[in-house]
Amino acid sequence: MTATEAEDLTADEAVPDDGDQDDPDDEALLPSLDEELLEQFALPASVTLDVQPRPYQQTAIRNWLANGGRGVVVLPTGSGKTVVAFMAMEQAPVRTLVIVPTIELLRQWHDGLVKHLALPAELVGVVGGGERRLGPITVMTYDSAAMPQRKLAEFGLLIVDEVHHLPAPTYRRIAAKTAAPWRLGLSATPERSDGMHEELTTLIGPEVYRRRPADLSREGHIAAYQQRRVFVDLSAQERYRYDALMAEYKWFLATQRRSLMRGNLFDELIKRSAFDPAARRALQAHHQARLIALNAEEKIDSVAQLLHKHRQEKVLIFSEYNAMVGILSRRLCVPSITYRTDPEERRLILERFRAGRYSKLASGRVLNEGVDVPDANVAIVVSGSSATREHIQRLGRVLRPKAQEAVLYEIISRRTTEGRASRARRAGAA
C-alpha cells in the first residue's frame, strides 16, 4: 500500500452533547394506560422483565407512555431497543403482535420474549419462515403480516422492529389491519430517502425519543469508539479507466443539463436512460467508474495491513459488493457470509465467530440488518453507499457495551466520488 492518510474522529468530537438527561428515578412517574382497554386485550399470563433497564431506556418508555402508548423510539444498534419493547409489554400486558423483517429476527425475538419476560414458550407464536403458529404474543415477518388474508385485529399492542420498512406500499397495510390502540416502532435510522418516514406519525405515532451513538458512548452505555478514514490510490490502469468513464458521464450531464433539471439530476438521468441510449451509456459509465473506486486493488492490501494490526481482535469486514467479499475471503483466508451463503453454513460461521474460533469475518450487506452478529470491536468498511442507515448499522456492530474502545475504518479511494459518499453518510450519522 502507498502512503496512507488517516483521520481520527473520537466519539466526543463526532457529535456534540445534546443535553439530554435521563433520570432513572422517573420510572416511578410512569403514566398509566386505559384500564378498560387493558382488560379488553389482556394477556392470559403475567409479564415480568428480568433485565434492569438503563436510564435512557426508562426515559424512552416514559415518553412513549406519556404519548398514550404510541410512537417511535430511535436508538443505535447494540443499545437495547428490544429491552424498550419488553418494557412496553410489561406496562401494557396485552395481546401483542411483533413485526420483524427477517427470519433471523423472528427467532431472536421469540427466544428473547420467552427468556426475558418469563413467558411460557406456548404463549409466544411465530408466523413466517414456514411456521404458522399464532399465540397471545405473536412474532411475524413483514411479508406474512402483509398478506391480504392475514387477520390482525385481535392484538392490543403492535411493536414494529426496523420500523423504517413500514411505510413501504406493500407493508403499510399492516398498520391498517390491526386495531391495536398501542403502537411502538423501533429503529436505529427511521429516515427514508423517499421521505415516506414522515408517514410513521400516522401509522405508528410520532418520534418520542432519540439518542445517537456518541451520546450513549459518552455515558458509558455503549463502547467508546473512533472512526478513521484510510485513503488509497487507484493503480495507473484503474485511474485511466476511472477518469475516462467519469469524463463520458460528465460530458453527457454538461450537454443535457437543461433537460435534466426538472428534478434531482441523477434521478432524471435514471428515468431518461429507459428510452435514451446516450443517457443509458452515461449511467453505465458512472456505475462502472464507481465499481473501480469501490473495488480498487490497493484496498485489499490496506485490509491486510489492518488485519495484521488488529490480529488479536475480532474484526468485521464489510463490502458493498459480494464479488469483493469473495476476493477478500480467498486472498486473506477469512470466512465470509453473503446472501448466497447457505443458512446452515451461515449459522455455523457466526457460532464460530461468537465462540472465538474465528476472529475475522467478511460480509456484504447481509449483516447490515436483522442478523444477530456476535460482538466485535473493529469494523473495516472496504466500500459502502452514501446511506446513513448503512453506516450507523455497521458502526453499531462494534458498539455493544464493553471496556475496550471500538474503531471503524473506512477505506476510500482518493480523487473519486467515494470521498463525497463517505462525508454524506458520516454527516447524516452525526
> In this structure, are 207 and 225 located in the same domain?
no
Full residue range of the structural domain in which residue 365 is found: 6-10+220-233+296-429
The pTM score is: 0.76
Q: Specify the number of domains making up the chain.
A: 3
List the grid coordinates of 74: 430511535
Please check whether residue 309 lies inside any domain of the structure. yes
Distance CA 66, CA 64 (A): 5
Q: Is 210 exposed, middle or buried (0-12, 13-18, 19+ CB in 10 A)?
A: middle
Query: Comparing 214-228, 308-322, 326-340, which segment has the lowest mean pLDDT?
Result: 214-228
> In this structure, are 162 and 47 located in the same domain?
yes
Amino acid identity of 66?
A
Res. 163: pLDDT tops 80: yes
DSSP conformational letter for 94: B
Question: Grid cell 427468556 — which residue?
Answer: 115
> In this structure, are 307 and 288 located in the same domain?
no
> In this structure, are 190 and 247 located in the same domain?
no
Question: Grid cell 495484521 — which residue?
Answer: 308
Distance CA 220, CA 283 (A): 46
Please check whether residue 1 lies inside any domain of the structure. no
Residue 7: CB atoms within 10 A of its CB come to: 12
Confidence of residue 421 (pLDDT cuts 50, 70, 90): confident
Diameter of the chain by CA atoms? 73
Torsion of CA 5, 10, 14, 15, to 10 degrees: 180
List the grid coordinates of 161: 422492529
> In this structure, are 359 and 321 located in the same domain?
yes
> In this structure, are 134 and 165 located in the same domain?
yes
> In this structure, are 27 and 96 located in the same domain?
yes
List the grid coordinates of 87: 418494557
Please check whether residue 119 lies inside any domain of the structure. yes
Q: What is the pLDDT of residue 390?
A: 66
Res. 64: pLDDT tops 50: yes
Q: What is the pLDDT of residue 377?
A: 85
Q: What is the CATH number of the domain that holds 62?
A: 3.40.50.300
Distance CA 57, CA 344 (A): 34
Please check whether residue 425 lies inside any domain of the structure. yes
Confidence of residue 341 (pLDDT cuts 50, 70, 90): confident
Which residue, 178, 211, 244, sits at the end of a domain?
211
Q: What is the pLDDT of residue 372?
A: 60
Confidence of residue 416 (pLDDT cuts 50, 70, 90): very high
Which residue, 259, 293, 327, sits at the end of a domain?
293
Q: What is the pLDDT of residue 320?
A: 84
Please check whether residue 177 lies inside any domain of the structure. yes
Work out the mean pLDDT of the chain and round it to a whole number.
84
> In this structure, are 163 and 280 located in the same domain?
no
Distance CA 99, CA 370 (A): 12
Confidence of residue 419 (pLDDT cuts 50, 70, 90): confident
Please check whether residue 34 lies inside any domain of the structure. yes
With CA atoms as reference, report the closest residue to 113 among 69, 83, 76.
83
Distance CA 100, CA 336 (A): 25
Mean pLDDT for 122-151 is 92
Three-class DSSP labels, 293-336: HHCCHHHHHHHHHHHHHCCCCCEEEECCCHHHHHHHHHHHCCCE
> In this structure, are 43 and 173 located in the same domain?
yes
> In this structure, are 240 and 262 located in the same domain?
yes
Under a CB-based contact definition with an 8 Å cutoff, are residues 42 and 178 in contact?
no
Res. 278: pLDDT tops 60: yes
> In this structure, are 171 and 314 located in the same domain?
no
* φ, ψ of residue 417 in degrees (nearest 5): -70, -10
Please check whether residue 107 lies inside any domain of the structure. yes
Under a CB-based contact definition with an 8 Å cutoff, are residues 377 and 313 in contact?
yes
Is 183 strand, coil or helix? strand
Confidence of residue 109 (pLDDT cuts 50, 70, 90): very high
List the grid coordinates of 179: 386495531
Residue count of the chain? 430
Which residue, 255, 270, 293, sits at the end of a domain?
293
Q: What is the pLDDT of residue 119?
A: 87
Please check whether residue 322 lies inside any domain of the structure. yes
DSSP conformational letter for 373: P
> In this structure, are 188 and 258 located in the same domain?
no
